[in-house]
Chains A and B, each alone.
Chain A
Amino acid sequence: MAEVDVQQRGAVVVVRLIGEVDLSNVETVRTGLLDPVGHETESLIIDLGDTRYLDSTGIRMLFDVALRLHARRQNLRLVVSDETIVRRVLVLTKLDQSVPFDRSVDAALAACE
């Protein structure tokens, strides 16, 4: 239902989350997001541009990911398109106040420099 596409850009890991995330697959997605992140990783960028659905468990998972990275002194950035149901639910849950949003992967990479 959902796939992750991982790209290593130096110390930055870019993971694209494709499909729907709900209660049924949220643990799988969590693993998919955290596995590429090692000790040398400075920043993780999660690209939600192709994420069609993200329910509250998904948001909870993202909070969880953000907490873990924060504890390791690693940065997390989310790429979120404007005017989407995903952005709306992230704003509703105030995740945008904990994790910086970018409108594109390039913008997120630039912010990591």
Chain B
Amino acid sequence: MSGAGPPGSEPASGRRPSTRVPNGPADATQLRETEIATVADLGRLALSGVDADELFSRAMEVVTTLLDAEHVGVFALAPDDRLRLVAGLGLATDTVIDPDADVIEAESVRRDEPVVVTAGAGGVGPGVAIGAQLLGGVAQAALTAIIRLPGCPFGVIAAYSDERRAFTDDDVVVLRSVANILGAAIARTRTEDELRERDIESRLAFGAAGMGVWHWSPASGSVRWSPELETLFGFAPGTFDGTFDGFVAAIHPDDRDAARRTVERATATERDFSMEHRVVRPDGSVRWIEGRGSPVRDAAGAIVQWVGISIDITARVEAEARNQAREIESRLAFAAARMGSWRWNADRREGVWSPELETLVGLAPGSYDGTWEGFVAPILVEDHPLLIKAVVAADRGDGEFSVRYRIAHSDGSIRWVETRGRRLAPGDWIGVTLDVTELTMAEEAHRASEAILRATSDSAPVGLAFVDPDLAFVWVNDQQAEIDGIAVAEHGGRKVAEVLPRLGDAIADNVRSTLASGERILGVALEGETPAHPGVIRSFEHSCYPVHGESGAVIGVGMVVVETTVRREGERQLADAHARLEETVGRLDTLLENGPFGFAFFDLDQAAVGLNERFAEMTGRPVDESLDRRLDELVPGLAVAAGDRSVEVGGVNSAVTGAERHWLVEQYPVRSAAGRPLGMGVVAVDITEQKRRERAALLIGVANAMLADSDPVQDWDRVTQVAVPEFADFCVLYISPRAGLPRRFAAAHVDPAKQALLIGAEQRWPTDVDRIRAAIPGPDPVLVAEVDVPQRVAFVSSDDQEERAFAEAHGARSVILVPLQRAGRDLGVAVFACTEESGRRYHEGDLDLARQLGQRFEQLIENTYLAHDAERARARLSVLAGISDILAVDLDSQARLDAIVQVVLPSVADACAIYRPTDDGRSVRLAAFASTDAEAVDYYDLDERPTLHAIDSPAPPAVVMRTGEPLLFEHMPFDVLASLAEPDESRQGRAVEIQSLVVAPLPGPDGLLGVIAFGLRGTDRHYESEDLVLAGEIARRVAPAIDNALQFEQQYATASALQLALLPERLDAMTGMEIAARYLPGAVDVQVGGDWYDAFELPGGSLLVAIGDVVGHGISAATWMGNLRTLVRYCAFDGQDPATLLARLNSYCMASAGADMATVLVGVIDPLSGVVTLASAGHPPPLVQRVDGSVHVVWEGRGPPLGATSGARFESIDIVVAAGETLVFYTDGLVERRGEPFDAGLDRLAASATVGRREPRTLEEFADWLIADALGGQPASDDVALLLLRPDSPSGDLRMALRTDATELARLRRVAGEWLRVHGARPEEIGELLLAVNEVAANAIEHAYGPGDGEFSVAGTMSGTTVTMLVTDAGHWRERPRPTGRGRGLAIARQLVDHLLIDSTDAGTTVRLRRDLAGES
């Protein structure tokens, strides 16, 4: 890009908003997991093959959602470099942006990188400069990303925001990810489109070339034909019956046996076959077909079906009007009739002629008399010297001669013949005589006509004719015949003037003029009536060309008659015809030496006795080296036929030059006058070029068919098979490695055994492809026609003698090296090679086919790469998304480690391990391991034996832990692999089979947390440097998660240890009171709470119980909890009642900075009476489970939580928990569930307590039951503390310690009243007893001690229905009745009880009250 300079180099512009080009790799930031998931969804959508419009619209939705941008546009780069809006959200359509526009979309393209802009901070302004037109709003910020295709940008995606905001690096990454997904999807769609087009092209090519495809399944006998093939055979599409017999029936009757034999032989040998046969179409026409078939094998090597191609040879022949092969065939027939052989013995003056020679000169077979006179009789007298001179020269020289002269045919015509002779022995000559007049003239005239016809349209006839010096037609073409109005055959020997009565004179004049002058006559206008169209005057232009014989004399005239009735067209045709005819005539003189015919004669011993240069050229063996050799020596595979003339197409290569040649060979017997066989004449025509074109068409057709198959190639050997054996004896493909794909090697060899050898050798001695590439200087294929032995071993990379020997024995003799690349990127190298097997050599003409095949290979490789890249991208996204899922789920570090190593299988790794440093830092320990191989998982038994590597060991995890640098082993060296083995000596033999390894550090805030290792088994893939990036990305994503989990667990462990330490180790056994306590930490994803409880005995025998919950979690909560617990103990020992105690605690909390709010429930229990004095600071109400199973919730006595308000007031209440009843203190973890009102949980707990009472349970059992039942079997989500108190059954006494303070009286009445109620006293009895005991207690308070604090106690016992209550003080008070004094109190008391006794001693005074509850007071 032209504008790729640093941002600062941009021309400054005053109103230019701030422009920022984000730098740093895309993965430098960590995307939010939701973003990754959303982008991953988009990636999956793209891979599902959704159409572009839908993908664009979904992509834009993703961008608006994730980037919070109101407008989004996708712009495509047009061929003129302008950006065209192809999809938009909140944008005007039809936007086109000039490439040099000063807007961010164009700027992004120029820089070839994302651009972020935000409107200048100075004011509202016009917004940022963008090319898109927003539908409403002004862009205050925008962000772009380039959409790339392989090798070129596709365009830009841009997001616009109406708000002035800075897009973050995360936003850049998101948009770039979306752009990458779009690019990959578009590239894939394009490739598919191209393949579709190519498929259509190849189908068209099939149709045009008359080519069809068939599939034949030998098992079912069914034959499947492509529609093209049916057309080829003359069937309407779909009407072929699909059987082998049906196929045979369509073949020409004469060819059926041969075709059947060929197929039978092929199926027996299981080898490729090819055959030529005719078909008779339903309409009676006959077509020539070339069929080729190849077996298709399954994995076990069994043949599943045969696939082949049939090509209509006829179609080509007829379509081209004068197919070379057919033409030559007909001309050969002609030639054979016009060629004779002879032998002359000079000593005996005796000669022998073949019947053909007699026919050639116009004699009846057998009429040659064997004399010299007879021999030379047909020769024009003036030409005798030519023959004699040649023979004499040959006799003196090398014994060969060739001479051209004229003969007088018995029909009166003069003909040119060529005689070639060779001396077999002194005086003994043998040779052939060829009528070259007709042959060459017809040939050349024909060529001219063909050329002209090809150049002009058939509708405008150009007549061509050869006229001899007697002005008689020798040969005419169809067009001339049409002009003349008589058949071609009827022209022979007829005079011009006779054939064309009206035009003949003018034509004859021109011909005569040319014959006389030897000059051309061009474009003489003629006009007149033709016999073909009597009465129609037609215009022609007539041209004559002299034709020279070897002697230089003019031997005839070639003439061209062009109809100029349509003048302009005629002129064009004429000019063209002139040019071609001139060229043709110019070549005519050398035709015999350089013409297309090879010619040889073999005697009865099948030894060559004569041949021409052309034949020698074809065999590659000079003429003199060829003599006396057998035909099959000269032409391998071709023997002299025993019978009559036969035609064969040979795929023949000379043993000498190695150049591959294809000939059309004709043999004909040569007989003596008496009919005795003399030998065999052989005429050969080189059809190599034609064959080459056919073969190229076939191979390219097959390669195209492979490309049409859109699936990535699996079997590359089959790809190389395309070139073998038609084009190469073996073909090798080196496919360059690519991220995640190893280098591939594929080979096909004409000999399957050697193919296996070749592949085996490559595995053993991998070829250094760079050496091959070094031999290819540019992008074009390189031909090495002759590979000598040093060259063969040039690519041998090792000093291994065995490898050298292999290369020498099996290397190529001739190679073409084709560099494979696309868009400048190396894809590999294809090697086409010929070996000793065929002896062929490549030459320049083969380069084109090699290049074309190479292009197909490139496309196949590219397709495979694209498919692989898409698969990789998908796997990567899914792994990263999978990691996000894990991180969302669990906080347990081991569970996370296990999930992480599992999630990368099998897309990124076959095995994955996480190593963590040991606590002493001297080793790394395998902490989690997963593998697709179950045996490997068994091998590392993490629970049983730790797998440790010393930190200074060479094991890769230790190395990475030590250095902090990632490690990559593309291919694991064995010693490194061994270092990973489990250290247990007895198990070291079983190393885990990892072939490729990446180890990445797991970065933590304070150094490495450990390392993560990814391994691949097998050899079909291995890691590369690119995978280091992915490994690093995964490591960066999982490391914080592991760190969080570890940190959490550590904190959790600390806090729970602290909390457990702060809770009482055990509760002291109390007289008359059972206690059970439970503490359950919450589930692992919640931090340790501040729940606590305490229970201890106070001086005086009562028991203090407390339970509390510090709001907040973790260590600070646990610490504060400890403080509260201590304070409660302190205050309680100080003798404060619960409400006062809480008030003190609250004051302390309010005064302490950093104190957490807390709820506390405090109770002081008198074990004898079961009276409990309670006060609560915001704590859930305690429960009392009655003996009858009912459950009472104690709502009274609740104040605000500690630390909530200063000056909070608390209230103590008294309840009685009778013998066998249970007091339940708990924290909210037992009842609270998310999304549920507190009361519901309380009801549930009450119900649990009720149900739990139905079966006898010890207090400990009851504690377990309550927790299990109330939590419903679920683990507690929050901490749970539970404290149960149950007064012993035998005791039901009241025991109260009271201060000598009038305020204590109310408490006394509450406690005693409750006690009496529990013990069955009726309300009026309770009232009277309370009144009595209150009077006695008031006396104690008023008179026992005087001013100041004192203590007294109240006790009560039940004996049957009799209540006895004792009020004891340490003072000395006397009954001092006074009228209005306290004597009234005692008097009242006496009236309310059955019995009142005052026992006053020095130690103090005890008043005993007794009343029978059952009786009347």
Closest to B1386 in A: A56
Which residues of A lie under 8 Å from residue B1303 when comparing CB positions? Answer: 24
B1380–A85 touching, CB < 8 Å: no
A60 to B1388, CA, bound (A): 12
Per-position contact with B for A81-109: 1 when CB-CB < 8 Å, else 0? 00101001100110000000000000000
Task: Report if B757 contacts A (CB, 8 A).
Answer: no
A85–B1331 touching, CB < 8 Å: yes
A22–B1388 touching, CB < 8 Å: no
A64 to B1302, CA, bound (A): 20
A53–B1309 touching, CB < 8 Å: yes
A22–B1338 touching, CB < 8 Å: yes
B1380–A63 touching, CB < 8 Å: yes
Per-position contact with A for B1364-1393: 1 when CB-CB < 8 Å, else 0? 000000000000000010101101100110
Which residues of B lie under 8 Å from residue A85 when comparing CB positions? Answer: 1324, 1327-1328, 1331
B1384–A59 touching, CB < 8 Å: yes
| Residue from the list B1302, B1334, B1341, B1384 in contact with A60, Cβ < 8 A | B1384
A23–B1341 touching, CB < 8 Å: yes
| 11 pairs from A and B in contact (CB 8 Å cutoff) | A22-B1334, A23-B1305, A24-B1306, A55-B1331, A55-B1335, A56-B1385, A59-B1384, A63-B1380, A85-B1328, A88-B1324, A93-B1384
B1385–A24 touching, CB < 8 Å: no
* Interface members, chain A 54-73 (any B CB < 8 Å): 55-57, 59-60, 63-64
A92–B1392 touching, CB < 8 Å: yes
Closest to A54 in B: B1331
Task: Report if A111 contacts B (CB, 8 A).
Answer: no
Task: Report if B1342 contacts A (CB, 8 A).
Answer: yes
Known: A56-B1385, A85-B1328. A23 touches B1309 (CB 8 A): no
Which residues of A lie under 8 Å from residue B1302 when comparing CB positions? Answer: 22-25
How far does the Cβ of B102 sit from chain A's closest Cβ, in whole Å? 87
How far does the Cβ of B245 sit from chain A's closest Cβ, in whole Å? 121
Task: Report if A1 contacts B (CB, 8 A).
Answer: yes
A63 to B1388, CA, bound (A): 15
B1384–A56 touching, CB < 8 Å: yes
A1–B1384 touching, CB < 8 Å: no
Closest to A24 in B: B1302
* Interface members, chain B 389-442 (any A CB < 8 Å): none
* Interface members, chain A 5-30 (any B CB < 8 Å): 20, 22-25
Per-position contact with A for B1302-1330: 1 when CB-CB < 8 Å, else 0? 11011001000000000000001001101
A55–B1385 touching, CB < 8 Å: yes
A103 to B1305, CA, bound (A): 29
A92–B1334 touching, CB < 8 Å: no
* Interface members, chain B 1387-1404 (any A CB < 8 Å): 1387-1388, 1391-1392
B1385–A20 touching, CB < 8 Å: no
Which residues of A lie under 8 Å from residue B1328 when comparing CB positions? Answer: 85, 88
Known: A22-B1338, A85-B1328. A92 touches B1388 (CB 8 A): yes
Which residues of B lie under 8 Å from residue A83 when comparing CB positions? Answer: 1324
Closest to B1324 in A: A85
A83 to B1335, CA, bound (A): 21
A55–B1334 touching, CB < 8 Å: yes
A23–B1384 touching, CB < 8 Å: no
Which residues of A lie under 8 Å from residue B1306 when comparing CB positions? Answer: 1, 20, 22, 24
The size of the chain A interface, using a CB distance under 8 A, is: 20
A89–B1342 touching, CB < 8 Å: no
A88 to B1389, CA, bound (A): 12
Which residues of A lie under 8 Å from residue B1388 when comparing CB positions? Answer: 56, 59, 89, 92-93
How far does the Cβ of A81 sit from chain B's closest Cβ, in whole Å? 13
Which residues of A lie under 8 Å from residue B1338 when comparing CB positions? Answer: 22-23, 55-57
Closest to B1392 in A: A92
How far does the Cβ of B651 sit from chain A's closest Cβ, in whole Å? 128
A53 to B1323, CA, bound (A): 13
A85 to B1338, CA, bound (A): 18
A110 to B430, CA, bound (A): 179
| Residue from the list A22, A63, A92 in contact with B1305, Cβ < 8 A | A22
B1342–A23 touching, CB < 8 Å: yes
Which residues of B lie under 8 Å from residue A25 when comparing CB positions? Answer: 1302
How far does the Cβ of B1139 sit from chain A's closest Cβ, in whole Å? 14
A31 to B1306, CA, bound (A): 20
* Interface members, chain B 217-254 (any A CB < 8 Å): none
Closest to B1330 in A: A53
A56 to B1380, CA, bound (A): 10
Which residues of A lie under 8 Å from residue B1384 when comparing CB positions? Answer: 56, 59-60, 93
A1 to B1290, CA, bound (A): 36
A59 to B1381, CA, bound (A): 11
B1391–A92 touching, CB < 8 Å: yes
A22 to B1306, CA, bound (A): 8
How far does the Cβ of A28 sit from chain B's closest Cβ, in whole Å? 11
How far does the Cβ of B902 sit from chain A's closest Cβ, in whole Å? 71
| Residue from the list B1327, B1330, B1341, B1382 in contact with A56, Cβ < 8 A | B1382
Which residues of B lie under 8 Å from residue A93 when comparing CB positions? Answer: 1384, 1387-1388
How far does the Cβ of A64 sit from chain B's closest Cβ, in whole Å? 7
A24 to B1337, CA, bound (A): 12
Closest to B1382 in A: A56
Which residues of B lie under 8 Å from residue A63 when comparing CB positions? Answer: 1380
How far does the Cβ of A87 sit from chain B's closest Cβ, in whole Å? 11
A25 to B1342, CA, bound (A): 14
Closest to B1326 in A: A85
A92 to B1327, CA, bound (A): 14
Which residues of B lie under 8 Å from residue A20 when comparing CB positions? Answer: 1306, 1309
A64 to B1338, CA, bound (A): 19
Given contacts A22-B1338, A89-B1331, could you give 7 more A-B pairs where the C-beta distance is less than 8 Å?
A22-B1302, A24-B1301, A55-B1385, A56-B1338, A56-B1385, A64-B1380, A92-B1392
Which residues of B lie under 8 Å from residue A55 when comparing CB positions? Answer: 1305, 1331, 1334-1335, 1338, 1385
B1391–A24 touching, CB < 8 Å: no
How far does the Cβ of B1303 sit from chain A's closest Cβ, in whole Å? 5
In this complex, which of B1324, B1331, B1388 has the most chain A Cβ atoms within 10 angstroms of its Cβ? B1331
A56–B1392 touching, CB < 8 Å: no
In this complex, which of A25, A57, A60 has the most chain B Cβ atoms within 10 angstroms of its Cβ? A57
5 nearest A-B residue pairs (beta carbon)? A85-B1327, A24-B1302, A56-B1385, A23-B1302, A23-B1338
Which residues of B lie under 8 Å from residue A56 when comparing CB positions? Answer: 1335, 1338, 1382, 1384-1385, 1388
B1380–A57 touching, CB < 8 Å: no
A28 to B1324, CA, bound (A): 27
How far does the Cβ of A47 sit from chain B's closest Cβ, in whole Å? 19
Which residues of A lie under 8 Å from residue B1324 when comparing CB positions? Answer: 83, 85, 88
A23 to B1301, CA, bound (A): 9
Which residues of B lie under 8 Å from residue A53 when comparing CB positions? Answer: 1309, 1330-1331, 1334
Which residues of A lie under 8 Å from residue B1330 when comparing CB positions? Answer: 53
Which residues of A lie under 8 Å from residue B1380 when comparing CB positions? Answer: 60, 63-64
A95 to B156, CA, bound (A): 106
How far does the Cβ of B153 sit from chain A's closest Cβ, in whole Å? 90
Closest to A19 in B: B1306
A59 to B1330, CA, bound (A): 16
Which residues of B lie under 8 Å from residue A89 when comparing CB positions? Answer: 1331, 1388
Closest to A84 in B: B1327
A93 to B1390, CA, bound (A): 12
A89 to B1341, CA, bound (A): 21
Which residues of B lie under 8 Å from residue A22 when comparing CB positions? Answer: 1302, 1305-1306, 1309, 1334, 1338
How far does the Cβ of B1409 sit from chain A's closest Cβ, in whole Å? 15
Which residues of A lie under 8 Å from residue B1387 when comparing CB positions? Answer: 93
Which residues of B lie under 8 Å from residue A23 when comparing CB positions? Answer: 1302, 1305, 1338, 1341-1342
Closest to B1313 in A: A53
How far does the Cβ of B52 sit from chain A's closest Cβ, in whole Å? 86
A23 to B1303, CA, bound (A): 8
Per-position contact with A for B761-777: 1 when CB-CB < 8 Å, else 0? 00000000000000000
A55 to B1388, CA, bound (A): 9
| Residue from the list A24, A64, A88 in contact with B1327, Cβ < 8 A | A88
